[in-house]
Amino acid sequence: MTGRVAVNTDLNFVQGLMLHGAADLKKCYQCSTCTVACPLTPNDQPFPRKEMLWAQWGMKDKLFRDMDLWLCHNCNDCTDQCPRGAKPGEVMSALRNQTIEHYSYPQAISKAAKSARGNVVLFLIPMVLIALAIAMKNIESGFAFLTAKPIVYANMLPVNFIDILFLPPVLFAVFNSYKAISNFIGGLKEQYPPTDRGENLLPAVKGTIQDVLSHIEFKKCGTNKSRNISHRLMMYGFIGLFITTNAVFVLHWLNEFGFDVQVTPLPFFHPVKILGNVSAFAAFAGIYLIVRDRVKNSGTSILSLFDWMFIGNMFFTVVTGILCQVFRVGDHANLAFLTYYIHLVMVFYLLAYAPQTKFGHILYRPAAMIYSRYSGRNIDIFRNL
């Protein structure tokens, strides 16, 4: 050998993968039942059989640049039909998590999100920061907000404080997302150079938005078909909550600048309030259904801490959000403010660490889907015998 390296392999990568969700990876014997079972794969260079091979060998460079990981929507039809119990669907999911970790910046956050101890640190940061802010604001008044009637959350932490508190982590997340995703797309371009079959960027973005909103890929799934409903509820719910939060932000600052608009707490039938409540319940129902199906399929579907942290976070964010309103209206001051505090911590975790945790899939997946259209991967070419 003259120093020529045919394949780059990394056995530590394989071991890490097997520890984090892909325990049965090595059972695969490359029969490719999975690629036929898959309702989403293109005919040319289909997945997930090739990913199983790359993963077994630890060919991580290929995997990190693989857009197909993100065209997979975890239907698990492959896992169902696998003759070896190698669970390709779970392997793909674990590979996505590894990809998020690989591109994440700073990587320490992503590594921390995989371990219990790391998560304690990740939670302590917002817990301390928010607690300090509350203390700073209220130490003079002797925490009078606790006894003031009616319960107004802005008494504990005014919106200005929240905006100042949350703006840095949001900017931090935006910057890190940009860094990660531009590296990710760079990798995709290397592995799948754009072809002349591809769409222009704008139609590709538009088409992807339509696909995501309509859940067209989820609808093609066999085994995990139910996620067409549950994931959609959750996604629409969170989009609704995102709009609500921004609306409250805008209303607040309009008010600050002298416009006569209603600010929080909003009356029950205010359009923003209605949107917030409907969205919260949609998100709750979606997460509930997802968790129920995950638990039901726990025999075939192994979730790593990385996955559970994400689902758990979403769940508690929504639940504490709903409870905040319940306790406020029910006039349980201590419970209400405690819940609100937890809610803020949850939201902070979700936003600040978005690109390094599984929440990051909302960046990676659309990016890969757009690139799939842009590069022409989504156009099926038949190579017959």
Partner 1 sequence: MNEQGKILVIGGGISGITTALEASEVGRDVILVEKSPTLGGRVSGFHQYFPKLCPPTCGLEINYRRLRANRHVQVYTNSEVLSVSGEAGNFKIKVRKNPTYVNEKCVACDHCTAVCPSDRSNDFNAGMDKTKAIFLPNKMAYPPRYVIDRPACEPGCSKCVAACKYGAIDLDMKTQEIELEVASVVVATGWKPYDASKLTNMGFSSVPNVINNIMMERLASVSGPTKGKILRPSDQKPVESVVFVQCAGSRDENHLPYCSSICCLGSLKHAKYVLEQNPEAKVHIFYIDIRTPGKYEDFVVKVQAEPNVNMIKGKVAKIIAGKEGGVLVEAEDILKLSKVHLEVDMVVLATGMEPSLKGQAQVAGIKLDEYGFVPMELQQQGIFSAGVAKWPADVNSSIQDSTGAALKAIQTTMGVN
Residues that bind partner 1 (CB under 8 A): 29-33, 35-37, 41, 43-46, 49-50, 81, 83-85, 382-385
Closer of 52 and 350 to partner 1 (Cβ): 52
Closer of 87 and 358 to partner 1 (Cβ): 87
Closer of 46 and 366 to partner 1 (Cβ): 46
Min CB(215)–partner 1 separation in Å: 24
- Exposed (0-12), middle (13-18) or buried (19+): which is 7, by Cβ within 10 Å? exposed
End-to-end distance of the chain based on CA atoms, in angstroms? Answer: 36
Min CB(38)–partner 1 separation in Å: 10
Contacts of 329 (CB under 8 A, 6+ apart): none
Identify residue 274 by its one-letter amino acid code: I
Four-residue CA torsion sign, 100, 103, 106, 108 = positive
Rounded-to-integer distance, Cα 303 and Cα 306, Å: 8
Min CB(207)–partner 1 separation in Å: 23
Min CB(37)–partner 1 separation in Å: 6
Closer of 258 and 299 to partner 1 (Cβ): 299
Min CB(88)–partner 1 separation in Å: 12
Closer of 38 and 354 to partner 1 (Cβ): 38
Closer of 12 and 384 to partner 1 (Cβ): 384
144: Cα within 13 Å, side-chain hemisphere = 5
Helix (H) or strand (E) holding 294: helix 271-296
Q: How far is CA 29 from the centre of its chain?
A: 31
Q: What is the signed CA dihedral for 160, 164, 166, 167, rounded to 10 degrees?
A: 120
Helix (H) or strand (E) holding 310: helix 305-329
Min CB(35)–partner 1 separation in Å: 4
